[in-house]
């Protein structure tokens, strides 16, 4: 790692970027533009977020608070729990633990910062990771391992049984830093009695771990508080996703990222609900006016795994500029029983039952077991409730014109089945493209190259008469 990168604490650095950015949103247009001139390396990201109005502003403010909570955790006597993005942080809020979501941070670092992330990716390899390991964790884990970010008190990882690469990164962090490790481990099926029983027992086992780490017992009132907030948030998310079905799609593409950001960073707390309320207002307004979220809709794309976060969100800006409505990823579907894609498949979704502490715990366990990836890639891809079912369901519901796969080069699980699902989707009549880019590491396949491939694909396959992308 270069010397200059070791001068500042990463959490502090990004808190200050966000905190300053959040203040900028209250500035005049002139103040905003002239300040932007001085922030070349994250100007485009801030600019992008500023175009989303109140929702983007609230998201930046809430994220600044997220970092601030991490930075002040020690002085406030709170514990920091290092978690992965497919673990709902709501239960940590109920325990008054400060969550530190690795991939959430990775996506943010990748979006806000062009250069330094490569060094944190590589730092992990210098201390022992294979260079083929998943980038999703490495971007943000580098500074943690280097002692340039807050040290976690413990780790909760919810990917064993779902994603080896992810679980392995957290297991590595636990061994390297010598901090306690707790895993939520999932069976390959979702709704049968044995699976449900396992989910519940495992979730309770995790609660015991949290009790042990925090020295606190489960607090019924706090648990109820976060569960009530989850219900509010889920209702709004489901409504937004219902609007997403409209042609043209009134939901701005970037709101997909907001949805999963909220679920992985602010689930169960008011910050998340506030952002969602602002989002819904914008979406409703667009819908009433009959306009697309990003202006004009030329095509509707479903990204059947994850998105791309590097180089100042160029991918998001490119989709928007080209009128490609982003109608979701695996990451946007959390499987609330009342989600639009769960209609007719309600048993696969979760419901929040607040009648007793036990029912709340069971509900959270069910929610946990339906998190993105946790639900779909735990079993054979074409088994009931798994990746193929969900991809077909969403592609039909959201009227996708084409599908594109993008992940990370470290993702052994999806790279071992993506050819199969892609072939199936093609047979079902959906043009589907496999991209060899990496969501967090632009060095694998640079953003312009893979966007060019999407453009070429749309042209060659003549999807809705695609005439070529706008690049400038």
- The contact set with another protein (CB under 8 A) reads 1-3, 118, 122-123, 125-134, 157, 160-161, 163-165, 167-172, 174-176, 181-183, 185, 187-188, 194, 197-198, 201-202, 205, 379-382, 409-410, 412-420, 423, 436, 442-446, 448-449
Nearer to another protein, 151 or 419 (CB): 419
Taking the complex as a whole, the smallest distance from the CB of residue 379 to another protein amounts, in Å, to 8
How is residue 216 annotated by DSSP?
-
* 8 A C-beta contact, residue 224 and residue 345: no
Name the token pair of 81.
């729990």
Nearer to another protein, 122 or 389 (CB): 122
Taking the complex as a whole, the smallest distance from the CB of residue 164 to another protein amounts, in Å, to 4
Taking the complex as a whole, the smallest distance from the CB of residue 173 to another protein amounts, in Å, to 10
Nearer to another protein, 243 or 303 (CB): 303
Distance CA 182, CA 147 (A): 22
Nearer to another protein, 173 or 265 (CB): 173
Taking the complex as a whole, the smallest distance from the CB of residue 166 to another protein amounts, in Å, to 10
DSSP result, 267-317? TTSHHHHHHHHHHHHHHHHHHHHT-BTTB--SEEEEESS----HHHHHHHH
Nearer to another protein, 328 or 410 (CB): 410
Find all residues with CB under 8 Å of 363, minimum gap 6, and list them. 227, 350, 351, 352, 353, 354
Taking the complex as a whole, the smallest distance from the CB of residue 150 to another protein amounts, in Å, to 21
Find all residues with CB under 8 Å of 415, minimum gap 6, and list them. 407, 409
Q: Residue written as tokens 């009648």? A: 355
Nearer to another protein, 3 or 75 (CB): 3
Burial (CB < 10 A; 0-12, 13-18, 19+), residue 115, is: exposed
Distance CA 333, CA 451 (A): 24
Nearer to another protein, 32 or 415 (CB): 415
Taking the complex as a whole, the smallest distance from the CB of residue 155 to another protein amounts, in Å, to 8
Name the token pair of 137.
């964790």
Taking the complex as a whole, the smallest distance from the CB of residue 438 to another protein amounts, in Å, to 10
Taking the complex as a whole, the smallest distance from the CB of residue 404 to another protein amounts, in Å, to 15
Distance CA 183, CA 414 (A): 21
Distance CA 393, CA 341 (A): 6
Nearer to another protein, 117 or 230 (CB): 117
Distance CA 293, CA 304 (A): 20
Name the token pair of 41.
């390396």
């Amino acid at each position: 790692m270069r010397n200059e990168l070791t001068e500042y604490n990463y959490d502090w650095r990004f808190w200050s970027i966000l905190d300053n950015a959040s203040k900028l949103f209250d500035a005049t247009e002139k103040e905003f533009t002239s300040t932007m001139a001085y922030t070349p390396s994250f100007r485009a990201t801030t600019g992008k977020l500023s175009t989303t109005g109140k929702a983007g502003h609230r998201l930046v403010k809430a994220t600044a608070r997220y970092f601030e909570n991490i930075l002040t955790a020690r002085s406030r006597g709170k514990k920091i729990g290092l978690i992965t993005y497919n673990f709902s942080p709501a239960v940590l809020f109920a325990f008054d633990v400060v969550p530190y979501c690795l991939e959430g941070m990775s996506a943010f670092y990748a979006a806000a910062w062009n250069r330094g992330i490569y060094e944190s990716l590589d730092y992990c390899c210098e201390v022992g990771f294979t260079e083929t390991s998943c980038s999703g964790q490495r971007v943000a884990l580098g500074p943690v391992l280097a002692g340039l970010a807050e040290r976690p008190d413990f780790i909760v990882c919810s990917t064993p049984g779902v994603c080896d690469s992810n679980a392995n990164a957290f297991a590595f962090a636990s061994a390297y830093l010598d901090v306690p490790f707790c895993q939520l481990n999932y069976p390959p099926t979702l709704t049968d009695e044995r699976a449900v029983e396992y989910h519940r027992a495992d979730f309770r086992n995790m609660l015991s771990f949290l009790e042990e780490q925090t020295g606190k017992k489960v607090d019924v009132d706090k648990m109820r508080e976060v569960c009530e907030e989850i219900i509010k948030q889920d209702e709004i998310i489901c409504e937004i996703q219902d609007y997403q079905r409209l042609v043209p799609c009134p939901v701005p593409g970037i709101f997909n990222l907001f949805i999963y950001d909220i679920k992985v960073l602010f689930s169960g707390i008011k910050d998340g609900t506030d952002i969602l309320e602002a989002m819904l207002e914008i979406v409703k307004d667009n819908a009433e006016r009959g306009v697309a979220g990003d202006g004009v809709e030329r095509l509707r794309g479903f990204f059947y795994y994850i998105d791309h976060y590097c180089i100042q969100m160029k991918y998001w800006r490119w989709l928007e500029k080209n009128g490609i409505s982003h109608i979701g990823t695996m990451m946007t579907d959390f499987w609330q029983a009342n989600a639009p894609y769960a209609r007719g498949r309600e048993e696969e979704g979760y419901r929040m039952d607040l009648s007793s502490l036990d029912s709340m715990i069971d509900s959270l366990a069910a929610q946990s077991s339906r998190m993105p990836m946790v639900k779909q890639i735990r079993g054979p891809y074409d088994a009931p409730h798994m990746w193929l079912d969900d991809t077909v369901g969403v592609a039909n519901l959201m009227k996708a014109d084409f599908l594109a796969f993008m992940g990370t080069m470290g993702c052994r699980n999806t790279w071992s089945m993506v050819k199969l699902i892609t072939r199936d989707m093609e047979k079902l009549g959906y043009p589907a493209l496999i991209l060899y880019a990496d969501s967090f590491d632009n060095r694998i396949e640079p953003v312009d190259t893979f966007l060019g491939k999407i453009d070429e694909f749309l042209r060659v396959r003549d999807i809705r008469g695609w005439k070529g992308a706008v690049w400038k």
